[in-house]
Chains A and B, each alone.
Chain A
Amino acid sequence: MDKTTFTKLFADFDRDASPRYRALRQAARERFASLPLPTTRAEDWRFTSIAPLLEMPFDLPTELRKSVRIADEVLGGGHEKLPLAVSGSMRLTFVNGRLARSLSVAAKPDIYAHTLDLLKVDVPELGQIAAEKENVFTALNTSLLSDGAVIVVPDGKVVEYPIEIVYLSRPGDKSCVGSPRSLVRIGKNAQALVIERFLGERTYFTNAVTEIAVGAGAVLNHVKIQDESATAYHIANTQIVMAARSNFTTHYLSLGGALVRNEVRVRFDGEHAEATVNGLYLASGKQHIDNFTVIDHAQPNCASHELYKGILDDKAHGVFNGKILVRKDAQKTDAKQTNKVLLLSDDATINTKPQLEIFADDVKCTHGATIGQLDAAQLFYLQSRGIPLDAARRLLTFAFANDIVNRVRIEAIREELEARIVR
């Protein structure tokens, strides 16, 4: 894959895609052409090389129209591999970028949940929240934009059920590039819980963009579960804009993938807003997981709490880069960032880098990073009570992750995580 091959890809894509977002795509393609692909010489990509991605040939997802049949095949005829987080939730499932109705659960009439393709009116935030001017992968996503999830919660609406968006990738014989796109707009004083889940089979490149606008006084709980196949590439940009007095929480759970880059960018656009950005990443084998977060305190009196925990085994490589930007007028900012990493093997690697840029003078900003191994005294204590070493290790590993797992609101997801760690 290099940039020239995309010219052909774009032309192929347009033949199949609706003309609706053509202007948006066109503008993005120009930006994509002008932006360089990142190398490890770029400060923000110092520890992550995309060279393996560039060596892969990528096609568009094949058999777009047959996506539902493919999905049924992947899921073995049943849909039990796609658990609804909670009964009564609604779900949009996209297979290879297209809505799979048979795998979706219709939205209730009290919110607006649709796909970009079927949207009757344009949502003005589309393409406005994600910073594609400087982000080559976001520009690439928009260059291939034709469908995606749109969730609009009206002002004052408290949504009682979880809203789930599932992106399933299943390439044919050739690896493919998918461009999942979500747009979530939470109205003034509204409340909702949105779960994004990424999964797939075989080798593919998921290049996801999620744009989230949280209205004044609104509360959004967001969970992202990245559970891609073991040979998948996953690059995601999740950007959140928060209005005054809004509250946003995300649990960013990264479980699968061969090469993963999770970018989360939160910008405070109004005062007295509060963001909680928690991440949990598990990696083993030769997995590479890079977490890149930016909290932009552009307004005074906002609070951000960031807690990332990584569990790295075998030869896995983890990266945490946490940038906190406190702009000149953002007085009374309260920002806290913590990254804790558990290394389960001698060959696992973590690069952790807090990056505080503070231009206001009346602020509280703290950051901390710890890197450790399982505690020998705790292991012995468990063993002395009869618990075999292997089980004791898993128990302590789960204990390490537990304070993040426990904060995820959905019990089914907590159980899923526990099973993954204690397995």
Chain B
Amino acid sequence: MKMLTIHNLHARVADKDILRGINLTVNAGEVHAIMGPNGSGKSTLAGVLTGKDAYQVTQGEVLFEGKNLLDMDPEERAGEGVFLAFQHPIEIPGVATNYFLRAALNAVRKYRGQPELDAAAFLKIVNAKMKVLHMPEDLLKRSVNEGFSGGEKKRNEIFQMAVLEPKLCIMDETDSGLDIDALRNVAEGVNALRSKERAMVVITHHQRLLTHLVPDFVHVLSEGRIVKTGGKELALELEAHGYDPIKAGMAPV
């Protein structure tokens, strides 16, 4: 079943064109990896899909389960089931993680027509998910991401994803800054979320995460376009030879 359809998407930041005609279809149950060099537009794509207002869409459309995603506010997209694990998670001093997570979970539940959870029911869900991701016990009492190491922040993103149970999980450079153990924990957490109803888009530089989280498709993004699509072996090829051969073979703009 088609979950996400991106058609001829163009977007710019300030006056600079970043995305220049993205076409991509993601079906439920699939894992897509989007790879590409710095500046190719990977994070812009993630930002446009989640509604970051710094980006201006100039052409094209994005449908999520048939609905026009670009017309929705960021919180509506979250309610529909789109989740972005941030490349640089934001610190929010003064807001305890449990307070934040419960507000978020109840907001999306409300959006989805589900009853809100009381503190006890919430804690039960959260404690179970914390174990899977080996989150530190005091996490819930700490302010959101404040004083977390890079690895902790990334794990916290996946933890939030596990709690909010989105349909479409977009992970932006989730593997960067993770040591081997943290990477394995994150991959375990993400793999636990894989299901026939859920799709994943993994934006990454390296194929490190992809050895743990095997994609169905690998797309190469270059200068705002998907220039090559293949299976999981494409990631290994990129790891061995870099992006230059692909860029060299790409059609002139």
Q: Is the CB of B92 within 8 A of A399?
A: yes
Contacts of A382 in B (CB 8 A): 92, 100, 104
Q: Which residues from 170 to 228 on chain B have a C-beta closer than 8 Å to any C-beta of chain A?
A: none
Give the interface size class of chain A: 20 to 34
Q: Find the residue from A388, A391, A395 having the highest chain B CB count within 10 A.
A: A388
Q: Mark B39-50, 1 if CB is under 8 A from A, else 0.
A: 000000000001
Contacts of A21 in B (CB 8 A): none
Which of A34-42, A160-168, A373-381 contacts the other chain?
A: A373-381
- A400 vs B77: C-alpha distance when bound (angstroms): 27
A342 to chain B, nearest CB (A): 11
Contacts of A386 in B (CB 8 A): 75, 78-79, 104-105, 107-108, 111, 164
Q: Is the CB of A383 within 8 A of B78?
A: yes
Q: Is the CB of B107 within 8 A of A387?
A: yes
- A392 vs B195: C-alpha distance when bound (angstroms): 31
- A385 vs B160: C-alpha distance when bound (angstroms): 8
- Given known pairs A384-B74, A384-B78, the reply for A399 and B93 (CB within 8 Å) is yes
Interchain CB contact (< 8 A) of A383 among B73, B86, B94, B100: B73
Q: Is the CB of A384 within 8 A of B100?
A: no
Q: Is the CB of B79 within 8 A of A384?
A: no
Whether A396 is near chain B, meaning CB under 8 Å from some CB there, is yes
Q: Is the CB of A380 within 8 A of B53?
A: yes
Q: Is the CB of B51 within 8 A of A387?
A: no
- A395 vs B101: C-alpha distance when bound (angstroms): 12
Whether A389 is near chain B, meaning CB under 8 Å from some CB there, is yes
Q: Is the CB of A383 within 8 A of B92?
A: no
Whether B90 is near chain A, meaning CB under 8 Å from some CB there, is yes
- A403 vs B100: C-alpha distance when bound (angstroms): 16
- A384 vs B161: C-alpha distance when bound (angstroms): 11
- Given known pairs A381-B89, A384-B84, the reply for A400 and B94 (CB within 8 Å) is yes
Q: Which 8 A-B pairs have the closest CB atoms?
A: A399-B94, A386-B78, A386-B108, A383-B74, A385-B104, A402-B94, A381-B90, A386-B107
Q: Which residues of B contact A (CB under 8 A)?
A: 50-53, 73-75, 77-79, 83-84, 86, 89-90, 92-95, 99-100, 103-105, 107-108, 111, 143, 160, 164
Q: Which residues of A contact B (CB under 8 A)?
A: 377-378, 380-389, 391-392, 395-396, 398-403
Contacts A382-B100, A400-B94 aside, 7 further interface pairs with beta carbons under 8 A come to A377-B90, A381-B89, A396-B92, A396-B95, A399-B92, A399-B93, A399-B94
